Structure 1
Amino acid sequence: MVDILEGAEPFAFEGNDIGVLVVHGFTGCPQSMRYLGEELNKRFGFTVVGPRLPGHGTSVDDMATTGCADWIGEADRALKELASRTKKVFVTGLSMGGTITLNLAWRHKDIVQGIAPISAAFGVLNEPMAEAMFLNPMPDRLPGVGSDVKDPTVTELAYTEVPTSCLGELTNLIMGTSTMMKEITCPALIIQSRDDHVVPARNADLILAEISSDDKRLLWLNESYHVATLDNDKDLIVDQVGTFFQALAAA
């Protein structure tokens, strides 16, 4: 057993028979998705679940013992549990959670009715992360990538360091997911901040071009950085994601 940081706990908000899975990002925790989850439940009545991915919201040492199979495995478990008690299920996720959102849409076409990846890590890394992949010797840890937020009053609960063993796992997740993008056909609302210091904004254009969904849309955010779910555009995200999923559920 590991101790979970205060505020990093997984959450669930019971609502109607429409389920929404919300997935946090790399080195972050459910805290970054709690506002979105709470408001989707309050404003739209959805049943919302926000899992804590293994190794997150505990310690950097704990994270170093996990990998992409663990992260995907927990998202799978939460998705199937939610689907077992709701009629329709949708998925939204931030950063690596956005990558996992895409991955779930590809692997669970029979379950996932629509997706909203937010600042999703896809095919293009930012310069510091790309350079880190070629360090020799490779250190055990590197500076963290969390809390890229424009609002000065807000802080993301995320690690200040990244275990480098997990960088390779993140790359494997991104590469594995990117090879199957053409097989994603469910409706998609792609959300991306124009000024993102963690995930280059052009990832959003790549996702839009790669997926095969007939209904695919791109929402640009102008007042937020990477962790947009906690930033100045957080209510815009709630309204757009909620309205998108609500319309799909009623169709």
Structure 2
Amino acid sequence: MKTTTKNQTIGCLCLHGFTGSPWEIEPIAENLRASTDWMVETPVLPGHAYGSFSIQNRVSYITWIHAADRAAKRLAAACSTLYVIGFSMGGLLACYVAARYRVERLVLIGTPMEYINPVQFLKDTLLVAIGRARGSLHPWYGVAAEKLRTPGWALREFQQAARVLRPFVGKVSCPVFIGQGEKDGLVPVRSAARIYKTVQSPVKQFVIYKSGKHFLFHGPHLHETVKDVRLFLTAKQINSENLMRTIE
């Protein structure tokens, strides 16, 4: 009987968020592809499309879970070591994967154990509105406009996904890096703090980026976030003590 031998390499699965695409985690994915010989996979979740911030086709939240599971299963079968990076809803999917497969290291960025930071969300909305009124659109106007057009059925699927996936956060036992923007209008800092307390990992790092918004890999802390995640994933040995810090 013929047996399949795994490649002695690392596989890194990168999962994007709700109404997003691999663009959201592209900077870290491209950095790892350029600096390592890892297999870095960035699948597009069902109903989504690259470069878009809206749901393209009507799908069930179950298809998002199945897609993440299939991608993890393929990568785990091909590689000797599996790492997972999850952004926003992709972070909840990443926790699900970490609970089901032998994930050696896990990265969670802007993951919604809770969602909507009302004060910051209002500030961001006002900035976009003021810019539009003055005829000088805010850089994120297009993103905000697309997200505000998200259909009700899609929002309900997201809420269902969050409800089903959150319990898997408490089943995470591998080393974990938690990154959170302090000025994230969609996911509040308390969400990341809750994840930090909930995961069962003996080794966990929690970094707050003071000027960071939701898209940490595309904001003012782009370089710090990429550097921190890369160091966490590539370090031969991770500090065994829990680490919490804030990046100005």
Q: How would you bin the TM-score normalised by the shorter chain?
A: 0.7 to 0.9
CA distance in 2, matches of 1:158, 1:239: 31
Query: TM (normalized to structure 1)?
Result: 0.75
Structure 1 counterpart of 2:19, from 20, 23, 27: 27
| Aligned partner of residue 235 in structure 1, secondary structure | helix
1:39-98 CA distances to partner (integer Å, 9 max, x unpaired)?
0121244321100001111785633x1121111111111111112221101111111111
CA distance in 2, matches of 1:26, 1:114: 22
CA distance in 2, matches of 1:178, 1:248: 30
Q: For residues 1-251 of structure 1, what are the structure 2 equivalents within 5 Å?
A: 17-57=9-49, 62-63=56-57, 65-108=58-101, 111-127=102-118, 152=139, 159-160=146-147, 161-247=149-235
CA distance in 2, matches of 1:230, 1:155: 15
Distance 1:55 1:218, change over 3 A: same
Q: CA deviation at 1:173?
A: 1.7
Q: CA deviation at 1:204?
A: 0.5
CA distance in 1, matches of 2:141, 2:227: 20
Amino acid paired to 2:56: D
Amino acid paired to 1:207: I
Distance 1:223 1:40, change over 3 A: farther
Could you say which structure has the higher helix fraction? 2
| Aligned partner of residue 79 in structure 2, secondary structure | coil
CA distance in 2, matches of 1:88, 1:200: 32
Amino acid paired to 2:203: D
Structure 1: unaligned runs, 5 residues or longer: 1-14, 129-142, 144-150
Q: CA deviation at 1:199?
A: 0.9
| Aligned partner of residue 235 in structure 2, secondary structure | helix
Q: CA deviation at 1:114?
A: 1.4
1:178-232 CA distances to partner (integer Å, 9 max, x unpaired)?
2233221111000000110111121000000111110011011123210111122
Query: TM (normalized to structure 2)?
Result: 0.76
Distance 1:154 1:47, change over 3 A: farther
Maintained 8 Å contact 2:115/2:186: no
Taking only aligned residues, the RMSD between alpha carbons, in angstroms, comes to: 3.0
Maintained 8 Å contact 1:18/1:249: no
| Aligned partner of residue 104 in structure 2, secondary structure | strand
Percentage identity across paired residues of the two chains: 28
CA distance in 2, matches of 1:29, 1:70: 15
Aligned length: 213
Maintained 8 Å contact 2:19/2:55: no
Maintained 8 Å contact 1:91/1:115: yes
Task: Give 1 or 2 for the bigger CA radius of gyration.
Answer: 2
Q: CA deviation at 1:116?
A: 0.6
| Aligned partner of residue 12 in structure 2, secondary structure | strand
Structure 2: unaligned runs, 5 residues or longer: 1-6, 120-124, 126-137, 240-248
